[in-house]
Amino acid sequence: MTTTDRKIVLITGANKGIGFATARELAGAGHTVLLGARDPQRGAKAEAELGRGTRFVHLDVTDPATIAAAAELIDAEYGRLDILVNNAGISRDRPYSPTDLPVDNLREVYETNVFGVVAVTNAMLPLLRRSPAGYIGNVSSGLGTVAFLTDRDSPLWQFANLLAYNSSKAALNAVTLIYANTLRDSGIRVNALSPGYCATDLNNHTGHLTAQKGGAHIARQATIPDHNTTGVFLNENGGTYPW
């Protein structure tokens, strides 16, 4: 990999699961990967395990102070950011039905899955503007698409009642499109990324794909060479998903 090809990448929620697997893939490909994690101990452990090409950055997407500090660190140490992967995400739906879900649970999910993405993106935009080809990848889910939420024949229909998670990903999809349209003329691309249905802590490891496989999908989608593709929901198997 040439110096020009080597990217500076920030991944939120990178100490475990899909974020960790994405970091492994990108660092293995020769990129510099900054491991955003809210727990310093877990973040440092992830860096020690992944080794060369990675660096833990304290970053809680719900904490403005850590977001600002992370941006300052990246500015001072690297001077730019090429790829931002907004991966951090939570679910607080189970065991509740939509009509029983505490509103505080809904707020907590939106703080991470939606507001956190906006806060981190806005903080990192000055750094992304310094990249010759800035890229923002928002890790989303097909469960948040209107196409899924209106398809009663879907094999995943049992998950259609996840009020907080699904609606937060629907909001994230809208956020993705709005940023893609806003930043289109700046050369910064913004896409929603799908890792597929992966077995992670978020779903009690019920997915049919491994986190490693999901991370490989995200890493590929985050580094696609097509500099014209923006404002789409990339499918883990290639192509795009309907919104």
Walking along the chain (243 residues) 10 residues at a time, the average pLDDT comes out as: 80 96 97 98 97 97 98 98 97 94 98 98 98 97 92 90 96 98 96 78 59 90 87 92 92
8 A C-beta contact, residue 121 and residue 179: yes
Instruction: Using alpha carbons, list the distances in angstroms from residue 101 to 94, 97, 142, 203.
Output: 8, 6, 21, 17
pTM of the model: 0.94
Please give the pLDDT value at position 210.
Answer: 81
Please give the pLDDT value at position 5.
Answer: 81
Please give the pLDDT value at position 204.
Answer: 55
- For the stretch 225-239, what's the b/e string if a residue is b when 16 or more beta carbons lie within 10 angstroms of its beta carbon? eeeeebbbbbbbeee
Would residue 165 show up in a list of annotated catalytic residues for this protein?
yes
Of 45, 78, 96, 169, the active-site residue reads 169
Helix (H) or strand (E) holding 83: strand 83-86
Of 135, 165, 179, 197, the active-site residue reads 165
Would residue 169 show up in a list of annotated catalytic residues for this protein?
yes
Please give the pLDDT value at position 202.
Answer: 57
The helix/strand count (H/E) of the chain reads as 8, 8
Which single residue is written with the structure tokens 């189970």? 94
Q: Distance (Å, rounded) from C-alpha 111 to C-alpha 139?
A: 15
Please give the pLDDT value at position 156.
Answer: 87
Residue among 182, 213, 216, 218 at smallest CA distance from 85: 218
Q: Distance (Å, rounded) from C-alpha 23 to C-alpha 32?
A: 9
Q: Distance (Å, rounded) from C-alpha 83 to C-alpha 94?
A: 33
Structure tokens at 15: 């100490």
Sorted by where each starts, the structural domains of the chain and their CATH numbers stand as 8-241 (3.40.50.720)
8 A C-beta contact, residue 193 and residue 187: no
Displacement of CA 223 from its chain's centroid (Å): 14
Phi first, then psi, for residue 131 (nearest 5°) are: -80, 145
Residue 111 CB burial class (10 angstroms; 0-12, 13-18, ≥19) = middle
Please give the pLDDT value at position 213.
Answer: 87
- State the greatest distance between any 2 C-alpha atoms of the chain, in Å, as a whole number: 54
- For the stretch 11-43, what's the b/e string if a residue is b when 16 or more beta carbons lie within 10 angstroms of its beta carbon? bbbbbbbbbbbbbbbbbebebbbbbbbbeeebb
